[in-house]
Amino acid sequence: MAAPLIPATKPRHQSWLDLLVSIAAGAVLTTGIWAQTRGAVEARRPSPPAGDTTVHPFHEIGVASWYGEPYHGRRTANGELYDMNLMTAAHRTLPLPTYVRVTNLENARSVVLRVNDRGPFIDGRIIDVSFGAAQLLGFVCEGLVRVRVDEVGVTD
C-alpha cells in the first residue's frame, strides 16, 4: 500500500509584526530613493575646470513648455505662491532665484524670467515658463517651442 502524499512545504504564517516591519522597510527604501533623486534634481551646475577663472554664463537651447491653471496658487520650489500670469519659470538645475532670458527661436520674441521653481519633469524639455510668459513668447496654442535660455543673473 502506498503512503499518503504529504505536502513538501508547510503553509507560511506571517505575524502582524512581520507585516508592519516589511511595510516600514519599504517606506524607508522609497524615502531614500526619493531623497537621492531630489538631490540629483537640485544639483548645481558643474564648477569650471581648475585654473579657469573666466565666467561662463549659462546657455542652453532646447524645447520649452508652459504651465498654468493646475499649478496656479500652489507653492513653488522656493516657497512662493505660483502665479501663472507673472514672468517666472521652472528649471531643473539653475540656482533659485536666477534670471534668464528666454528667446523663442521661431519668432525671435524674448522675455526675462525669474526661475523660482523646479521642472520640467518631462524628458526632452529644458524649461517650463509661466502662462503669462508663454503668451508674450507667442506659443500658448502650440504648447511647445524651441527656445534659447541665457542666464542674465543670480540673486541671493
Distance of alpha carbon 114 from alpha carbon 98, whole angstroms: 6
Cα distances (Å, whole numbers) of residue 104 to 2, 5, 97, 137: 84, 76, 21, 6
Q: What is the pLDDT of residues 47-89, one digit of tens each?
A: 555 665 556 689 999 999 999 999 999 999 999 999 999 999 9
Q: What is the pLDDT of residues 96-114, one digit of tens each?
A: 999 999 999 999 999 999 9
Please report the pLDDT score of residue 41 as a whole number: 43
Cβ 116 vs Cβ 88: under 8 Å = yes
Q: How many CB atoms lie within 10 A of CB 9?
A: 5
Cα distances (Å, whole numbers) of residue 39 to 48, 81, 156: 20, 23, 20
pTM: 0.65
Q: Where are the domains of the chain?
A: 59-154
Kindly state the percentage of the chain with pLDDT values over 70: 67
CATH match for 59-154 among 2.40.40.10, 1.10.10.10, 2.40.50.100, 3.20.20.80: 2.40.40.10
Distance of alpha carbon 52 from alpha carbon 46, whole angstroms: 13
**What would the mean pLDDT of 125-129 be, rounded to a whole number?**
98
On the question of a cis peptide bond just before residue 120, with omega within 30 degrees of 0, the verdict is: yes
